[in-house]
Amino acid sequence: MKKLLILCVCAVLCIGCNRPSKAEQYKADKRLRDSVALIDQQRTLTYFQAQLDSLLPVSDSLLHFFKYERNEKYQDHGNYVLNGKNGLRILVRDDGKELLLYQNGKRIEHSDDPKTETAKHLQIVISDIKELEKRIARTSLEVQKYQKRLQKQ
C-alpha cells in the first residue's frame, strides 16, 4: 500500500514537471495571438492592395478627359478641370473631397450636363483611392508592429 501511494505521488510530481510555467504559457499564447494577428493584417493588406490596383485603371481612364490645374503659389490642392456646355466649368479636387461647378464664373449647385456625371464618378474614384492609400499605410504599420513583436519573442 505504501508503494502504491509513493508511486501515485511520484506520478503527480512528474506530470507537474512536464507542464510549462504560467509565464511560459502566457508567452506562448501571446506569440500565437501575434502570429494570428500578423496573418490577418497581411491578408487585409493584400485585399486593400488588390482594391487599389483595380481602381487605378478606372481613374486613368477617367483622367484623360480632364486637365490638371494647380497654382503652386496659393493652392494646396489642384483641380481636375473639364469644360462643359454653355460656359460650364467642372472642377474635381485632386484629393477627391469636392466637386465644384461654375457657370460663367459663378458657382452653381447642379447641372444637367452629361460631363458632370463623369466628374462625379472621378470624384468617387479619387476619394476611394485616397481612403485605400490611408488604409494601406495603417495596415502596413500594423504588419510591421506584429513582425517586430514576433522577432523579439
pLDDT, tens digit, 9 for 90 and up, residues 67-85: 999 888 888 888 999 988 8
The region, left, alpha or beta by phi > 0 then psi within -120 to 50, assigned to residue 98 is beta
**1 assigned to some structural domain:** no
Q: How far is CA 67 from the centre of its chain?
A: 28
pLDDT at residue 74, rounded to an integer: 87
- Structural domain tally of the chain? 1
Q: Is residue 129 part of a domain?
A: yes
Tell me if 91 is assigned to some domain. yes
Tell me the residue range of the domain where 58 lies. 28-152
Stretches in the chain below the pLDDT threshold 50: 4-5, 7-8
C-alpha span between 113 and 107 (Å, rounded) = 15
Say how many C-beta atoms besides its own lie within 10 A of residue 27's C-beta: 13
For residue 147, is it within any domain?
A: yes
Cβ neighbours around 24 below 10 Å, total: 10
Domain membership of residue 15 (yes or no) is: no
What is the pLDDT at residue 31?
92
Instruction: Report yes or no on 50 lying in a domain.
Output: yes
Which pTM value belongs to this model? Answer: 0.77
pLDDT at residue 9 in the model: 52
The answer to the question of residue 5 being in a domain is no
- Residue 113 domain flag: yes
Give the pLDDT confidence score for residue 48 in this predicted structure.
97
Cell of 33: 495571438
